[in-house]
Amino acid sequence: MNTTDAVLARIDAGLPDALARWMEWLRIPSVSAQPAHAADCRRAAAYAAAQLADIGFAVSVRDTAGLPCVLGHHPGPGGDAPHLLYYGHYDVQPAEPFELWTHPPFEPALVDGPHGRRVVARGAVDDKGQAAMWLTALRAWHAETGTLPCRVTALIEGEEEINSINLKPFIAAHRDELRADIAVISDTNMWDIDTPAISASLRGIVYIQVELKAASRDLHSGMFGGSALNPINALVAALGQLKDSSGRVQLAGFYDGVRDIPAGRASQWVSLGFDEARFLGDIGLTTPSGEAGRTALERLWARPTCDINGIWGGYQGPGAKTVIAAEAGAKVSFRLVPGQDPAKIVEAFRQFMLDRVPPDARLSFQLFGCGAGIEIPTDNRFVQAAAEALAAEYGKPAALIGCGGSIPVVETLRHELGLDTLLMGFGLDDDQVHSPNEKFELRCFHKGTRSHARLLGALGAGKRG
Amino acid sequence: MNTTDAVLARIDAGLPDALARWMEWLRIPSVSAQPAHAADCRRAAAYAAAQLADIGFAVSVRDTAGLPCVLGHHPGPGGDAPHLLYYGHYDVQPAEPFELWTHPPFEPALVDGPHGRRVVARGAVDDKGQAAMWLTALRAWHAETGTLPCRVTALIEGEEEINSINLKPFIAAHRDELRADIAVISDTNMWDIDTPAISASLRGIVYIQVELKAASRDLHSGMFGGSALNPINALVAALGQLKDSSGRVQLAGFYDGVRDIPAGRASQWVSLGFDEARFLGDIGLTTPSGEAGRTALERLWARPTCDINGIWGGYQGPGAKTVIAAEAGAKVSFRLVPGQDPAKIVEAFRQFMLDRVPPDARLSFQLFGCGAGIEIPTDNRFVQAAAEALAAEYGKPAALIGCGGSIPVVETLRHELGLDTLLMGFGLDDDQVHSPNEKFELRCFHKGTRSHARLLGALGAGKRG
């Protein structure tokens, strides 16, 4: 048995312990968006730091202007072993609406499903479950060999779900500590449960809250209706123009820089045989939304979007209240693709709204995220090694896919450190990420952990050999 | 001193007691829209019944399919004295948002203002305060004379703020008990604090809740954005088309039956010298909203409107959540003028929405109110007597005004009983009806009570004399 095989056997035997550690982390409601959970976030950071210390890392919890980052270093075997920067995040999305959960979101439950057992909890996959995989792989290597096959830096942040608002200055301030040969992130999906995947592009995001204030107080719609500005009507009239009937976003210059995907990638995506009818059927829909005239995977991976993520105003209770509200608001996000300039889109949205509201409508904007879409280079030895590790684990080649979501750190690492990223994730499309009943398949967790262990072995052996 | 003068003196002397009774009623949070307050509504009904019993009424609290009605009878002096039907409502609007109240909404506070003392509480004016005026006037007549100058039936319902949803069948089932010569309602406004008013028209209302459901669960906007229908985008895109840029409502046939006001009324309204700049300035606005090309009072009293009274969907908490919600909803109301058919407008709205949402958008509608706008006849002896009573109390003639709000019972009384209504109200435009810090000026309450007492005296004396 070579060392990697011994490590894999150790992972198999230690699965119950790994599950217990993962679930303990999930019990901490580290919701970064909600200030009431700030202390929980710090507990989740401390828990991650303790895990790294267990594996021989020199680790500490570092303050930022917001929630802290966990930063640890392991020297590895020395020599010319490559230096990997693992990135993960200990924060999770809000769990609301609680009443739709079959189990309390912060009391992780092991539940039977079509693929065997799964863990149901907020953060089960995003990202505690995915980070727990590489933590478990590192732990197994450390237990088996007393060291790691590569030099490893681990960075686990606490604000990914709020668009990593303080991560950029943190990385800039710790450039020397964060240098590495490649960043490794597990926060993306497989193609399906049998087919591993490496992501080759990420969409960026601009996330803006807009509020519209009108009268100085709520008004009676009988006494004032027809004379007083209604902020909900005004907000809705403007937001309702964000897309035309073919699904194209109407901000000025929105598509500037957006390129059609290369023919080679287009044909590779077609060869994946994506079944959009089934994808939509799983969520109760029949008809694709979004831009007309594009393939399904193009719309998901290579075209920008506009979604209103939240809206509020006036009376939301039962029955009727004949009120004209004093204010209304919405959260609007744009997924961006490589070539679009996020700062220009922020300004275009601001101008779009200002141009469309009547006099007396006082608009205010809050920016909660502003990151570009990016291409991930795949022509390097790290991606090659990952593809081999995945093929060995799954018995079939990894798909090279796009990712519709955004992982702000990827752009930051490239910009601040010139560092490329390997995106090797093990989530599934039906994991209900950001939704009630988020789950992670134990099978994905187990084989994902084994894939990470294989990758570490291959990179270490490759350098040493 | 004639009897009416003695009654007025009694009202002056008894003002502190009247205030105490009124405030006791205000302490009961009888919010009809909120099922959690059902028991409070019944307490408020019992309180009103006890007041009527005090004044010699044969009174009982009658069940309906919803909240009960208080119904009482006083025979008056007998003979050919006229028979008045006083109508009021003991229910109030929801008090949310609580944090904007300077005093707890159900702990009435006496506060100093520019016109002297005022009562601040939910229901201070609408309608407990206005109903307390005629209850106080009746009490004073009863105390002074041992009877009332007219035969009086009193009907105090508990669902006015939820569009009197069970009142019509109640009135139909109690036709014999509700017959009278005229209905008298205080639920409207004065022209200003020095100028009394009688309302000659009421707008009707159609109030509809619309909900739009899309996917079977909340979705991650990165994974699904561009493919999955976003119900907030879809709802907003449809609702955003409700008015064109000149403020005209776009439902098919919406303006069918809407007539321009007669020249006589138009010139009378102009003579009132309405200061729209000041009206809007009081609520922090500068520019009229609503239909272009109409005078301010026309827009408020004689033109139909469309207001979105509430909207909700997705994430409304702090920060960012990149969710595509499973559903969104809104409450939409239309104020109607005489000539418009409410049932047609309900159907036109339904069709308007159905025509504008994409496939997979499942719409549902709930109707919370459907009443026509009406003209109030003013050429009868009751309105004449009221005008004289008001002129005597205020030393200037009453203005004949429109009312932008809706009082569903007026149409029901006419339709079911052939009964006309006298609308003599004492609210002010700045009473913050339906808003936080609703208030009623003690001066309005006092002089309104005296006006009611004068009217009773005049009608009783007129018949007897």
Q: Do B315 and A309 touch (CB under 8 A)?
A: yes
The ranges assigned to domains in chain A are: 3-202+373-464, 204-258+304-371
- CB contacts, 8 Å: A331 with chain B: 314-315, 320-321
DSSP per position, B154-208:
EEEES-GGGTTTTHHHHHHHTHHHH--SEEEE--SB-SBTTB-EEEEEE-EEEEE
Please give the DSSP secondary-structure letter assigned to residue A398: P
Q: CB of A277 within 8 Å of any CB in chain B?
A: no
Q: Do A223 and B94 touch (CB under 8 A)?
A: no
- CB contacts, 8 Å: B315 with chain A: 94, 96, 309-310, 331
* Residues of chain A numbered 5-34 and touching chain B (CB < 8 Å): 32-34
Least confident window among A263-267, A307-311, B327-331 = A263-267
Nearest CB to A305: which of B226, B229, B318?
B226
Strands A83-89 and A151-157: parallel
- Work out the pLDDT band at A407, boundaries 50, 70, 90: confident
**Minimal C-alpha gap between A238 and chain B (Å):** 7
Long-range contacts for B171-174 (Cβ within 8 Å, ≥24 apart)? Answer: B171/B409, B171/B412, B171/B413, B171/B416, B171/B417, B172/B416, B174/B62, B174/B71
Whether A65 shows a pLDDT value over 50: the answer reads yes
**Minimal C-alpha gap between B352 and chain A (Å):** 15
Q: Please classify residue A246 by burial: count the beta carbons closer than 10 Å to its beta carbon, then call 0-12 exposed, 13-18 middle and 19+ buried.
A: exposed
Contact A183, A123 (CB under 8 A): no
* Residues of chain A numbered 435-464 and touching chain B (CB < 8 Å): 435-437
Contact A73, A52 (CB under 8 A): no
* Residues of chain B numbered 101-160 and touching chain A (CB < 8 Å): none
Q: Do A205 and B314 touch (CB under 8 A)?
A: no
Nearest CB to A162: which of B100, B320, B324?
B320
Q: Do A289 and B318 touch (CB under 8 A)?
A: no
Measured between alpha carbons, how far apart are the two ends of chain A, in Å? 17
Q: How many CA atoms lie within 13 A of A126 on its CB side?
A: 32
> Which tens digits make up the pLDDT trace of B372-417?
999 998 889 999 999 999 999 999 999 999 988 888 899 899 999 9
Q: CB of B306 within 8 Å of any CB in chain A?
A: yes
User: What was the pLDDT predicted at A465?
Assistant: 34
User: What was the pLDDT predicted at B370?
Assistant: 87
**What type of residue sits at position B447?**
K
User: What was the pLDDT predicted at B91?
Assistant: 98
User: What was the pLDDT predicted at B437?
Assistant: 96
- CB contacts, 8 Å: A279 with chain B: 227
Nearest CB to A303: which of B226, B310, B325?
B226
**Minimal C-alpha gap between A188 and chain B (Å):** 10
- CB contacts, 8 Å: A249 with chain B: none
- Work out the pLDDT band at A26, boundaries 50, 70, 90: very high
| Minimum Cα–Cα distance from B299: chain A residue | A226
Q: Do B284 and A404 touch (CB under 8 A)?
A: no
pTM to 2 decimals? Answer: 0.82
> Which tens digits make up the pLDDT trace of B209-220?
999 999 999 998
Q: Which two tokens stand for residue B422?
A: 């006298």
| Element at B445 (helix H, strand E) | helix B442-464
Query: For residue A352, which of A201, A446, A242 has the smallest C-alpha distance?
Result: A242
Q: Which two tokens stand for residue A407?
A: 């992982």
Place of tokens 């005629």: B134
Q: Do B323 and A360 touch (CB under 8 A)?
A: no
Q: CB of A227 within 8 Å of any CB in chain B?
A: yes
Q: CB of A336 within 8 Å of any CB in chain B?
A: no
DSSP per position, A5-61:
HHHHHHHHHTHHHHHHHHHHHHTS--BTT-GGGHHHHHHHHHHHHHHHHHTT-EEEE
Q: CB of B401 within 8 Å of any CB in chain A?
A: no
| Minimum Cα–Cα distance from A92: chain B residue | B321
**Minimal C-alpha gap between B321 and chain A (Å):** 7
- CB contacts, 8 Å: B162 with chain A: 319-320
User: What was the pLDDT predicted at B463?
Assistant: 52
Q: Is B6 or A164 the better-scoring residue by pLDDT?
A: B6
Contact A368, A207 (CB under 8 A): yes
* Residues of chain A numbered 45-74 and touching chain B (CB < 8 Å): none
Please state which CATH class domain B204-258+304-371 belongs to: alpha beta
Q: CB of B38 within 8 Å of any CB in chain A?
A: no
| Element at A454 (helix H, strand E) | helix A442-464
Q: Do A217 and B437 touch (CB under 8 A)?
A: yes
> For B371-403, b where at least 16 C-beta lie within 10 A, e where not — what string?
bbbbebebeeebbebbbbbbeebbeeebbbbbb
> For A372-383, b where at least 16 C-beta lie within 10 A, e where not — what string?
bbbebebeeebb
Domain B3-202+374-464 CATH assignment equals 3.40.50.11890 = no
Please provide the CATH number assigned to the domain covering A3-202+373-464. 3.40.630.10
Question: How far is residue B133's CA from residue B18's CA, in Å, rounded to a whole number?
Answer: 9
Nearest CB to A288: which of B227, B285, B315?
B227
**Minimal C-alpha gap between A223 and chain B (Å):** 5
- Work out the pLDDT band at A464, boundaries 50, 70, 90: very low
> Which tens digits make up the pLDDT trace of A418-442?
999 999 999 998 899 988 999 999 9
Q: Which residues of chain B have pLDDT under 50?
A: 464-465
Q: CB of A224 within 8 Å of any CB in chain B?
A: yes
- CB contacts, 8 Å: A356 with chain B: none
Other CB atoms within a 10 A radius of the CB of residue B145 amount to 15
Contact B448, B187 (CB under 8 A): no
- CB contacts, 8 Å: B101 with chain A: none
Q: Do A207 and B161 touch (CB under 8 A)?
A: no
Q: Do B225 and A307 touch (CB under 8 A)?
A: yes
Angle (CA) A403 A405 A406, round 5°:
110
Q: Which of A32, A34, A275, A289 to mutate to test the interface with B (most CBs of B within 10 A)?
A: A289
Q: Do B222 and A405 touch (CB under 8 A)?
A: yes
User: What was the pLDDT predicted at B464?
Assistant: 39
Percent of chain A at pLDDT > 70 equals 99
- CB contacts, 8 Å: B35 with chain A: 318
User: What was the pLDDT predicted at A462?
Assistant: 65
What ipTM score was computed for the predicted complex, to two decimals? 0.82
User: What was the pLDDT predicted at B369?
Assistant: 84
**Minimal C-alpha gap between B153 and chain A (Å):** 28
Q: Do B227 and A335 touch (CB under 8 A)?
A: no
C-alpha dihedral sign at B48, B50, B56, B59: positive
Q: Do B325 and A315 touch (CB under 8 A)?
A: no
3-state class (DSSP) for residue B231: helix
Contact pairs from chain A to chain B, CB under 8 Å: 359
Q: CB of B215 within 8 Å of any CB in chain A?
A: yes
